[in-house]
Amino acid sequence: MRLVFSSRYELDIGAHVFPTDKYRMVYERLIETGLAQPGDFHEPSEPDPADLRLVHHDDYVEDLLELRWSPRTVRSELPLSEEIVGGFFLHAAGTILACRFGLEDGVAMHIGGGFHHAFPDHGEGFCYINDVAVGIRKMLTERLITRAAVIDCDLHQGNGTARVFQGDPAVYTFSIHQERLYPIKEESDWDIGLDDETDSDAYLKRLGPAVPRILNEQKPELVVYIAGADPYQHDQLGSLRLTKRGLALRDRMVIEGCYRRGIPVVPVLAGGYALDTNDTVDIHVNTVRECLRVLGQLPPRPEPAAMPEGESELRASDFEPQAGPGVVDDSPLAVEPPREDASR
């Protein structure tokens, strides 16, 4: 599987809850575990500023290029330096590249990206450039696709992405997130706001019917899957209570749901603020594993540490109402879960 990554994603943002070393750590873990080889990784080239302007307003892009504190840049909660701006621009180029790979290969993943709080005219919430929106707009502009969907499973609502695509019939936005938390909510095409303390089981029961409904009804030609690690039970910013296993099953629902329908899917990392960054890395690596699994490229003996036993009794078969008794956890989600009335 082709993976997009740059060592320049690791940025000096000072003492901060956002661990920008996680990108390098995911890269290193993938190599160490044999899940990926160095040749699987592709580094994006410098982005064309015109691509950023497919989403972002000229005066905002100018502020970033000139490192200007303004009402447009000040809400990022990040410092503003040449290195940081360059890093965010590169993440956007990375998501463009991952979208190209995804369209060619069916599945490709960006070990970066997911900055869904960036709006056309301002940054906020650790996000300067909305790489997801840029990637999708680029594919639409080049007429490689006519319809796309964003399936956003980060802890936080994808408010920037929702705003970018409001009124755009070519892009369907879905977000499932903790309701009583940053940000002030924008209107996605479909939002599921979860109560505090929602656990894996309850989460997957909400997501399970949503994924096939989105894919069957909207028929996107590309899905960007925002696979945030921050719904994790020990995340510092949220109070959803998903286990690592629950998060991996979440990944499987989205990735396999797309793949089985022949819909290209591109996961991007987005948030993850576990006290121990190694937990965040585990969750992101498990997303790569789910991609490899669906492609039939998973090494035969996955290392046992990645998905601890006993932390959850959830099994993929819980979401396969017609599956037989022999279903094991590694089997695909072969049967769609029953539909439930969506709370739009």
Instruction: Enter the DSSP assignment of 127.
Output: B
CA dihedral (113, 44, 98, 147) in degrees, to 10, reads 90
Return the SS3 of 170: coil
Shortest distance, CB of residue 277 to Zn ion, whole angstroms?
15
Return the SS3 of 198: coil
Residue 27 or 126 having the CB closest to Zn ion: 126
Q: Which stretch, 69-77, 154-162, 251-259, 310-318, contacts Zn ion (CB under 5 A)?
A: 154-162
**Does 235 engage in binding with Zn ion (CB under 5 A)?**
no
Q: Which of 63, 131, 152, 154 binds Zn ion (CB under 5 A)?
A: 154
Shortest distance, CB of residue 177 to Zn ion, whole angstroms?
8
The 177-216 site mask, x for binding Zn ion (CB under 5 A), equals ----------------------------------------
Q: Which of 63, 189, 230, 256 binds Zn ion (CB under 5 A)?
A: 230
Both tokens assigned to 78: 């990040």
Q: Which of 72, 117, 156, 252 binds Zn ion (CB under 5 A)?
A: 156
Both tokens assigned to 293: 């699994």
> How many chain residues interact with Zn ion (CB under 5 A)?
6
Burial of 77 (0-12, 13-18, 19+ CB in 10 A): middle
313, 243 in Cβ contact below 8 A? no
E strand residue ranges, 227-333:
265-268
Residue 220 or 228 having the CB closest to Zn ion: 228
Instruction: Enter the DSSP assignment of 225.
Output: E
Range 260-319, binding Zn ion (CB under 5 A) = 271
Contacts (Cβ under 8 Å, ≥6 apart) of 305: none
Q: Which stretch, 39-47, 168-176, 183-191, 229-237, contacts Zn ion (CB under 5 A)?
A: 229-237
Residue 114 or 337 having the CB closest to Zn ion: 114
Contacts (Cβ under 8 Å, ≥6 apart) of 306: 33, 244, 282, 285, 286, 289
Shortest distance, CB of residue 265 to Zn ion, whole angstroms?
20
**Shortest-Cβ-distance residue relative to Zn ion:** 271
Q: Applying CB under 5 A, which residues contact Zn ion?
A: 154-156, 228, 230, 271
